Amino acid sequence: MTTATMTLSAIDLTAPQTFLDHQDELVSMWRQFRSQSPVHWHPVEGRQVPGFWVVSRYRDVMEVYRDNKRFTSERGNVLATLLEGGDSAAGQMLAVTDGRRHRELRNLLLKAFAPRVLESVVDAVRRRADRLVREAVARGECDFAQDVAEHIPMATIADLLGVPAADRDYLLSLTKQALSAEEAEQSAEEALVARNELLLYFSELAEERREDPRDDVVSVLATATIDGEPLTEQEIVFNCYSVIIGGDETSRLSMICAVKELIEHPEQWRRLKSGEVATESAVEEVLRWVTPAMHFGRRALTDVEIGGRTLRAGDVVTLWNSSANYDEEVFDRPDVFDLARTPNKHVSFGYGPHFCLGSYLGRAEIHALLTALRTHVAEMTPTAPARPIHSNFLHGYSSLPVSLRAAP
C-alpha cells in the first residue's frame, strides 16, 4: 500500500518498521500530513500509553521549539521516553532540563564547545577523515558506514571528552550497543546494560579528572561549580553520556547518507568534485536532506493553540524535523537534492533553547569528509544494498558497501 492510498490514521509513527516499509514514500507521506492534518492527533493502539500530537509544518515546529515556557523537555524529548512518562535523566542532563538549571548547564558546556576551543579537535577531524578515506581508496572496497564514518565522530567525541586511547574501542563498542534498538534483532535489555556501563565508565573517569584535571569536557564538568556547589555525580555522567550519544549520531548518519546520495545523484557529485558548489552549502544540504534525527518532542505545560488545534496541558507533542525540512512554504523544490541550495534554514539540529551544542563540530566533521572525498575519490559505486537502521527516531544506514576509485 502506498502513502497515496493510505489514510493518515493508518500510519503508525511509533513503529520503526513504518519508516522501513515506506522509506521511498516518506517525502510524500509528510507532504500529506502537512496538507491534510499539519497538527495531527496520533492514538497509540495496543499499549497503555497516551496518544500524541504530530506537528509537521515548519512554522508550527519552529513555534514549539522556540517556546520553553508553555512546552517542556523535562518529561522526555523523544517518543520512546515521552510515551513512557518521562526520562530518568530529567533535570540533570542538558537535553531534558529546562529553566534556570538548563541555562547554567548550557553556559558551562558552551565553554567547551566554542569554535576557538575546538580548533585542535577540528584539525584532528580533518586529518582523521583524510586518512580514513585515503585508506579506503587504497583498499578499493569498504563498508563506508563501518570502516570510515563510524570512526570519525566517535574518535572526535573521545578527543573532546578526554577518553584515553586505550579505552576507545571499548567505548565505541558500548555506544553501538547502547543504540542497539537501531537493529531489529537486538534487545532493549542489551541497550540498557550498555547505557549503564557507559554511565559507570564516565563516573570513574570523572573521579580521575577531579584529582587530575585536563583540558577536556569531563574535567570541565567534574571541577565546575554552579552557585558555589559542584555538579552532582548524576549531572556529570548524564551529560557525558549525552555528549557521546548526541555527538555521534548526527554526523555519522549524515556522512553515510551523504555518500549514498552522492552515488545516486551523480550530477551533484560532479558539482562537488569540480568545485562548482561550495563544501559549506553541500554540508547544509546533506543535513537537510538526511535529517538524521527525525523528530524531537515536548510536553505541553498549559493549554495552547498550534496550527488551529488546541493542545491540552500534559499532551505529548512531537516535532517532525523530517517533515519541516521538506516544507514547500520554506524550501524551493524541497524534494530536489541541491548542494548549492541557499538559504537553507533546516532544523536538523533543532532550534531555540535546546539547539544542538555540537552543531559546529558536526558541521566540521561532515565538511572534513566531503573535502576528503572530493580530494581522493574519482568514482563511488555501491557493491551491495545499504542496510537501513531500525528506528522511529534516527534515519540512516548501518552498512553501506562501496567501491572507491582513486582520483588521478
How far apart are the C-alpha atoms of 395 and 386, rounded to whole Å?
13
- Does this model's pTM top 0.75? yes
CATH of the domain at 318: 1.10.630.10
Is 319 part of any domain?
A: yes
Is 12 part of any domain?
A: yes
Count CB neighbours of 117 within 10 A.
Answer: 15
Q: Is the pLDDT of residue 2 over 50?
A: no
Residue 49's pLDDT is: 84
Give percent of the chain above pLDDT 70. Answer: 96
Is 260 part of any domain?
A: yes
Is 393 part of any domain?
A: yes
> Which residue's entry shows cell 539540529?
349
Q: pLDDT band for position 179 (50/70/90)?
A: low
Total tally of structural domains belonging to the chain: 1
Residue 388's pLDDT is: 95
Residue 279's pLDDT is: 98
Q: What is the average per-residue pLDDT within 108-132? A: 92
Q: What is the average per-residue pLDDT within 216-228? A: 94
Is 280 part of any domain?
A: yes
Is 407 part of any domain?
A: no
Residue 3's pLDDT is: 44
47-77: pLDDT as tens digits: 888 899 999 999 999 999 999 999 999 999 9
83-112: pLDDT as tens digits: 988 998 999 999 999 999 999 999 999 988
Domain hosting residue 132, numbered range: 8-401
Is 2 part of any domain?
A: no
Residue 19's pLDDT is: 96
Residue 240's pLDDT is: 93
Do the bridges between strand 295-300 and strand 71-72 make them parallel or antiparallel, or are there none, so unpaired?
Answer: antiparallel
Is 408 part of any domain?
A: no
How far apart are the C-alpha atoms of 383 and 400, rounded to whole Å?
8
Q: Which three cell numbers stand for residue 250?
A: 548526527
